[in-house]
Amino acid sequence: MDEVFKDPVQFSKGINLRELMTSATEFHIDMDFKRKSDVLLDDDPFPEIDDGEDSDIEDILKNIEDSTDKLMLSSPEYLSFSELATKMVDCVPSGDAKILIIEEGNGPLVPVDAVVTVHYAAYWEKTKIPFDSTLTMNSGAPITIKLGTGRCLPGLEIGLTTVRGPSARFHLLLQPRLAWGPRGAPPRVRPEPALFVISLYDVKDVHAAIRFNDLPMEEQSKFETTIKTVKVLHSEAKSLFAKKRYKKAIKNYQQSMNVLGLSMPKDENEEAEIKKLKVTVYTNLAVCYCKIDKPKYVFLMCDNIDRISNLDNHCKALFYCGKAHEMLGKHELALKYYKKALKLEPKNREIGKTLAGLDDYVKNSTQKEKELWQTAFKAEPKKEKVVYDVDEVFQNGVRDMCLDLAGREEYAKFDLPTGLTKDEVCCIKSITSDFEGLVVDEDGEGKRKKVSIVKKMI
C-alpha cells in the first residue's frame, strides 16, 4: 500500500470545493490505477494525431510572448527577483508586496472599493512566458475587477490601491502569502514569489457620491473636495452615455450639480472654475435630454447656462438648442441657433452638415408648399386688375400704413378719417388684403361711416 502513494495521485474527476467544505465527502481509489497509467503511457492509441502537437504548443507560447511584448506586459530583463526587489518599494511593512511604478497614473489614488480595468501577466523567476495572464482569458480583452469584494488576490489589490489612476503601468512582486497562499495551487501555481506586470486602463470610483454624502458639511464645501467628486461623477456619466444609458448619466450630472451647489470657492480663480463646471454640466444635460427626446428640458438647461454665462458664447449648447427646436418642428429657429453655433466654430463639420441638411429641407418644403397652392388654385380665373378713382399718393399712404401695422407683434387699430369715397374704401380693402393679419372694420353708413384698419394677433 505504501508503494502506491509514493507518487502524487491525480483525480479522474475535479473536486467541488463548496461540497468538500460543507458536506461529507468520500474518495474511492482504484488500486490498479498505477498499472492502467503505465499501459496508457506505453501504448499510444492515437499515434496519428501526436505529430505536430509540440509545434502547436510552441506556436501558442510564441503568440503569448508576442502579445506580452505588444501590450508592454513582458517580463523585465532582471537576473533574479532579489535584484529586482532592490529597485522596488514596499507596499506593506512585511515586504510581501513590493512595487515598481513604470508610468505614474494621472489622477488620485485608486480607491479601495473602485472598479478597475486591467491587463496583467504573472511570471515565475527567470521566465519569459507568463503562467497566468489576462491575455489568455476574456477573449484577450482587459478584465474588470471590483476591489474590496474578496475576489482579487490580496497582494494584487494592495498594489492596485497604491497607484494613481485611471492609467498606470507597474511591476508588482508578491510573496505566496499575498498571492495564492503559502502552498500555492498545484500543479499550475507553485508556492513561490510571482512577478505581476500590470497595465491599469480605467478606474471607476462608483461610491464617490456616497462618500461625499458621509463627509461633514465643512469638508463638503471645500473646493478640492468638489473638484475630486465632480470629476469622478463626470467620468462615470461619460461612460454611461457611451453605453446609451442616458437616464443614468443624467442622474450623475444632477448629483454633480448638487455638489457644485455646496462648494464655497475662496477666490476668483476657484469661482471661475466652479462656473465653468456648471456650464459643462448644463451642456451635457442638454445633450442627454436631446437623446431621450425631451426638447423642453433642453431649453431649460440652455436658460440655466444663459443665467450664469452668455449662451451665445457656447457652441455646443447653441447646437443642441437648435436640435431641440428642430425636434419640435420649429425649423426657422433651429436654423438660427445652428448658424450661431457655426459662427463660433466655422470648421465644425457636424454643425455645417446639420445646417446644410436643414436648410435644404426648409427650401424644399417651401417649394413644395408653393407648388401645392399653385395646384390648388390653378383652375381659378385670374383676378382682373381693378382700377380705382384714387390718386397714387393716397394708395402709397395706405400701403405704408399697412406695412407699419403688419410689422407690429401686438394688437393695433388705426382709425381712418370719415367722409371717404366708395373708391377710397375699396382701395383700402384691396391693399389691406395683401397683408396677413390685417382686416378692414366698417361701422355706420354714408358720410358718418367709420373705417378702421385692425392688426389682429395670429
Write out the DSSP string of 165-187. Answer: SS-EEEEEEE-GGGTT-TT-BTT
Where does residue 439 fall: left (phi above 0), alpha (psi -120 to 50 degrees), or beta otherwise? beta
Predicted confidence at residue 39, as pLDDT, reads 35
pLDDT top residue among 63 and 97? 97
37-92 pLDDT, tens digit each: 333 333 333 334 344 455 565 666 667 767 777 777 777 776 689 989 999 999 99
Cis peptide before 166 (omega within 30 of 0): yes
Whether residue 67 contacts residue 140, with contact meaning beta carbons closer than 8 Å, is answered with yes
Q: What is the CA radius of gyration of the chain?
A: 40
Count of alpha carbons within 13 angstroms of residue 91, beta-carbon side: 23
Lowest-pLDDT range of 158-167, 302-311, 347-356? 347-356
Question: What is the separation, in whole angstroms, between the first and last Cα of the chain?
Answer: 106
Whether residue 223 contacts residue 235, with contact meaning beta carbons closer than 8 Å, is answered with no
What does the angle CA 150 – CA 156 – CA 162 come to, to the nearest 5 degrees? 110
pLDDT mean over 196-214:
86
303 vs 319: CA distance, rounded Å: 14
Predicted confidence at residue 8, as pLDDT, reads 52
pLDDT top residue among 22 and 87? 87
* pLDDT higher than 90, residue 10: no
Could you give the 3-state DSSP secondary structure of residue 361? helix
Predicted confidence at residue 120, as pLDDT, reads 93
Query: Top-level CATH class of 72-206?
Result: alpha beta
Which amino acid appears at position 389 of this protein?
A: D
Predicted confidence at residue 394, as pLDDT, reads 82
pLDDT mean over 120-126:
92
Backbone angles phi and psi of 148, in degrees to 5: 80, 10
Domain boundaries, the chain: 72-206, 209-370, 392-455
Predicted confidence at residue 420, as pLDDT, reads 81
Query: Top-level CATH class of 209-370?
Result: mainly alpha
Could you give the 3-state DSSP secondary structure of residue 439? strand
The set of residues, in sequence order, having a beta carbon less than 8 Å from that of 78 and lying 6+ positions away, is: 84
* pLDDT higher than 70, residue 100: yes
b/e map 20-37, b = 16+ CB within 10 Å: eeeeeeeeeeeeeeeeee
On average, the pLDDT of the chain sits at: 81
178-200 pLDDT, tens digit each: 999 998 888 888 999 999 999 99
The set of residues, in sequence order, having a beta carbon less than 8 Å from that of 43 and lying 6+ positions away, is: none
pLDDT mean over 336-347:
89
Burial, 207: exposed, middle or buried (Cβ in 10 Å; 0-12, 13-18, 19+)? middle
Burial, 55: exposed, middle or buried (Cβ in 10 Å; 0-12, 13-18, 19+)? exposed
**Cβ atoms within 10 Å, residue 324:** 25
Q: Sign of torsion, CA 83 86 91 92?
A: positive
pLDDT band at 15 (very low <50, low <70, confident <90, very high): low
Q: Which CATH number does the domain 392-455 belong to among 3.40.190.10, 3.30.70.20, 2.40.50.100, 3.30.1370.50?
A: 3.30.1370.50
| Nearest Cα residue to 427 out of 391, 388, 397 | 388
* pLDDT higher than 60, residue 4: no
211-245 pLDDT, tens digit each: 888 889 999 999 999 988 898 889 889 889 999 99
Helix, strand, coil tally for the chain in percent (to 5): 50, 15, 35
Predicted confidence at residue 59, as pLDDT, reads 65
| Nearest Cα residue to 132 out of 148, 119, 151 | 119
* pLDDT higher than 80, residue 110: yes
Whether residue 116 contacts residue 110, with contact meaning beta carbons closer than 8 Å, is answered with yes
**DSSP alpha helices (H): ranges in 71-146?**
81-85
Predicted confidence at residue 268, as pLDDT, reads 93
Predicted confidence at residue 77, as pLDDT, reads 73
The set of residues, in sequence order, having a beta carbon less than 8 Å from that of 314 and lying 6+ positions away, is: 279, 283, 305, 344
Lowest-pLDDT range of 229-243, 372-386, 400-414? 372-386
Whether residue 327 contacts residue 350, with contact meaning beta carbons closer than 8 Å, is answered with no
pLDDT band at 288 (very low <50, low <70, confident <90, very high): very high
Whether residue 228 contacts residue 108, with contact meaning beta carbons closer than 8 Å, is answered with yes
pLDDT mean over 280-303:
95
**Cβ atoms within 10 Å, residue 197:** 24
Domains 209-370 and 392-455 equal at CATH topology level: no
Long-range contacts of 29-38 (CB under 8 A, 24+ apart): 31/4, 33/9, 34/4
Burial, 370: exposed, middle or buried (Cβ in 10 Å; 0-12, 13-18, 19+)? exposed
pLDDT mean over 12-35:
52
